[in-house]
């Protein structure tokens, strides 16, 4: 088949069973867009309003579907506009293939119009990247890109293709990549280490499991549940690990982290065996490392060797795919119940309820608070919706109060903390799962970083429910200014536009609520409306998010107020 390099790009995507791509055209990628014109029935292209919107949408699509997300941009500013999302995908282990156009090969290094060394600048934030200058290399490089992106610990890959390579004709063949020399994405599990781990768990009086996103990425939800149920292990989750175990499960004890639940943080420093599954001991989880779980024997089930002993020394490292290591471990652990130890978590839950939750859910103040809005949203949707959040106070509240009942339904920016992530990521999530209700929950600050993606909603007709929790502040920064900078609110107060008029300009149904009396009725309208809906909820301007582990503190010093 003698075709152009541009058509080879399209046919390569189709060979990898890609059905949806997100992008924005421009000069250096125009040949690929011309080729796409003839394949619109086989390959859906979503025109976002900014390249950052394209990469975040691809992230949302990948996180919900489990497939590789794909985005396309032109050279220069088009490529650099992808970098925030690529960095976000790298730290959150999201599989992406990002394709960028580049100036013709004879112009490389000449500072030609819209030339940028995107391979050089993206190297630190990609799992792998490559530049293609010959059409014949397009298919094998893209095959490798998809294999690297999805295998082992997933991540983003960037392929930069010169314009002349896109025009060049060659004899196209495509062969999927199944193996690469010197790249071993799935280490062989050491069964002796599994046995050692099981022995520690069987002898433990206060065992504790911490679950990260690796369980979801490794499709190990069933294996995790079988493991913790057999051994009777209290289980907490990182933010990205949420939905690995349903919130209603009797062994689920809550969320870890700076604004996680009280018991999961406090009792990290009381357990005798700590089992970490597919998580990387991020600083927001550990607090002061010098005072983190020093009393415990640490078992770390992890696929990526670089994460072993990086932050927390593992007494028993179990390297390998957790889907398999959990299966092996479950066979060796004993049937046990830790009634007294679980009671400690319940005691902490009650303390948190009395000091924090009761005041937030049963507030007598006139102003609404974020917690009651998310709590009611969770009840109305039975925890079954896909919840996509931005970054800030609303994010922490949403993760704590939404009761996830299905896996792969929590989409947020974890490690990079990217404001503006939510709206485009939610579009991608909805396109990946059109059968699911998708809730895009964001603050007024995050919404205004990518509001142009309302245009993508308008053009695609995607049915997305957008909730803006408006406190007229950059809330999380303001909270820190209140607690640690003597209430010196330096440039955190927001003067916002009329969000309803903005939504109406894009032809999207909209409403605003600030009264508790009509909250329930409007939330029901919001959820049940056929088509997209932007709902603004005015909440208290100076509300804070607790519990909280302050920077530099031990997890045992978690604050309730």
Q: What is the rounded CA–CA span in Å between residue 388 and residue 410?
A: 6
Q: What token pair was written down for 2?
A: 């003698």
The values of phi and psi at residue 287, to 5°, are 60, -145
Q: What is the rounded CA–CA span in Å between residue 526 and residue 535?
A: 7
Q: What token pair was written down for 509?
A: 């149904």
Q: Are 288 and 263 in contact (CB under 8 A)?
A: no
Please count the CA atoms within 13 angstroms of the CA of 245 that sit on its side-chain side. 26
Task: List the catalytic residue out of 1, 113, 485, 524.
Answer: 113
Task: List the catalytic residue out of 7, 16, 22, 51.
Answer: 51
Angle, helices 475-484/393-401, rounded to nearest 10 degrees: 100
Dihedral of the alpha carbons of 367, 373, 374, 378, in degrees to the nearest 10: 160
Question: Ramachandran region of residue 308, left (φ > 0), alpha (ψ -120 to 50) or beta?
Answer: beta
E strand or H helix at 132, and its extent? strand 128-132
Please count the CA atoms within 13 angstroms of the CA of 402 that sit on its side-chain side. 30
Active site residue 113: yes
Q: Are 475 and 393 in contact (CB under 8 A)?
A: yes
Q: Are 159 and 141 in contact (CB under 8 A)?
A: yes
- Torsion sign across C-alpha atoms 15, 16, 22, 25: negative
Q: What token pair was written down for 337?
A: 């119940």
Instruction: Report how far apart, in Å, the C-alpha atoms of 27 and of each of 10, 67, 100, 224 are.
Output: 17, 29, 11, 48
**Per-residue DSSP letters for 359-394?**
HHHT--SSSB-HHHHHHHHHHHHTT-SEEEE-SSHH
Task: List the catalytic residue out of 163, 225, 297, 430.
Answer: 163
Q: What is the rounded CA–CA span in Å between residue 489 and residue 199?
A: 53
In a 3-state reduction of DSSP, which class is residue 156?
A: strand
Task: List the catalytic residue out of 39, 44, 67, 114.
Answer: 114
The values of phi and psi at residue 225, to 5°, are -60, -45
Active site residue 51: yes
Task: Give the per-residue SS3 of 422-435.
Answer: HHHHHHHHHHHCCC
Task: List the catalytic residue out of 476, 479, 499, 533.
Answer: 476
| Residue appearing with tokens 């792969």 | 408
- According to DSSP H, which parts of 112-233 are helical? 118-122, 138-150, 163-167, 191-203, 214-217, 221-231
Q: What is the rounded CA–CA span in Å between residue 203 and residue 39?
A: 60
Residues identified as active-site: 51, 113-114, 163, 476
């Amino acid at each position: 088949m003698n075709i152009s390099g541009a058509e080879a790009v399209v046919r390569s995507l189709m060979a990898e069973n890609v059905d949806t791509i997100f992008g924005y055209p421009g000069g250096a990628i125009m040949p690929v867009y011309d080729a796409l014109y003839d394949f619109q029935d086989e390959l859906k292209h979503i025109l976002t309003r900014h390249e950052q919107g394209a990469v975040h949408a691809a992230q949302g699509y990948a996180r919900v579907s489990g497939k590789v997300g794909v985005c396309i941009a032109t050279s220069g500013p088009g490529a650099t506009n992808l970098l925030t999302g690529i960095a976000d995908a790298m730290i959150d282990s999201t599989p992406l293939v990002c394709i960028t156009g580049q100036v013709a090969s004879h112009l490389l290094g000449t500072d030609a119009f819209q030339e940028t060394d995107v391979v050089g600048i993206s190297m630190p934030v990609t799992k792998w990247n490559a530049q293609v200058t010959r059409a014949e290399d397009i298919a094998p490089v893209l095959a490798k890109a998809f294999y690297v992106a999805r295998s082992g610990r997933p991540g983003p890959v960037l392929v930069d293709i010169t314009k002349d390579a896109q025009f060049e004709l060659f004899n196209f063949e495509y062969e999927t990549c199944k193996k690469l020399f010197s790249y071993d994405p799935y280490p062989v599990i050491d069964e002796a280490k599994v046995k050692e781990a099981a022995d520690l768990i069987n002898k433990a009086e206060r065992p504790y499991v911490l679950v990260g996103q690796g369980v979801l990425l490794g499709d190990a939800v069933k294996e995790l549940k079988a493991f913790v149920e057999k051994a009777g292990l209290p289980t907490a989750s990182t933010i990205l690990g949420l939905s690995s175990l349903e919130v209603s499960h009797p062994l689920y004890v809550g969320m870890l982290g700076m604004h996680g639940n009280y018991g999961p943080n406090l009792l990290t420093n009381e357990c005798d065996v700590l089992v970490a599954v597919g998580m990387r001991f991020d600083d927001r989880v550990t607090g002061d490392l010098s005072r983190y779980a020093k009393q415990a024997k640490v078992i770390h089930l992890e696929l990526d060797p670089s994460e072993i002993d990086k932050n927390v020394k593992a007494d028993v490292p179990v390297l390998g795919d957790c889907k398999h290591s959990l299966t092996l471990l479950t066979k060796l652990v004993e049937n046990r119940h830790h009634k007294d130890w679980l009671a400690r978590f319940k005691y902490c839950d009650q303390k948190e309820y009395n000091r924090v939750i009761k005041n937030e859910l049963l507030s007598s103040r006139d102003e609404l608070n974020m917690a009651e809005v998310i709590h009611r949203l969770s009840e109305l949707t039975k925890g079954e919706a896909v919840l996509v959040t931005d970054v800030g106070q609303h994010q922490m509240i949403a993760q704590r109060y939404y009761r996830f009942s299905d896996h792969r339904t929590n989409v947020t920016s974890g490690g990079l903390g990217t404001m503006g992530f939510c709206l485009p990521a939610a579009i991608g999530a909805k396109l990946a799962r059109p059968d699911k209700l998708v809730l895009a929950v964001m603050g007024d600050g995050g919404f205004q970083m990518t509001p142009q993606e309302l245009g993508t909603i308008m053009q695609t007709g995607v049915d997305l429910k957008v909730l803006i929790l408006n406190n007229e502040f950059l809330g999380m920064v303001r909270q820190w200014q209140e607690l640690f900078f003597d209430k010196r609110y330096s440039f955190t107060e927001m003067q916002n536009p009329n969000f309803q008029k903005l939504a109406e300009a894009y032809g999207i149904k909209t409403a605003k609520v600030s009264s508790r009396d009509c909250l329930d009725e409007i939330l029901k309208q919001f959820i049940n409306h056929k088509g997209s809906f932007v709902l603004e909820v005015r909440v208290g301007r100076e509300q804070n998010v607790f519990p909280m582990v302050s920077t530099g503190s031990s997890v045992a010093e978690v604050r309730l107020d």
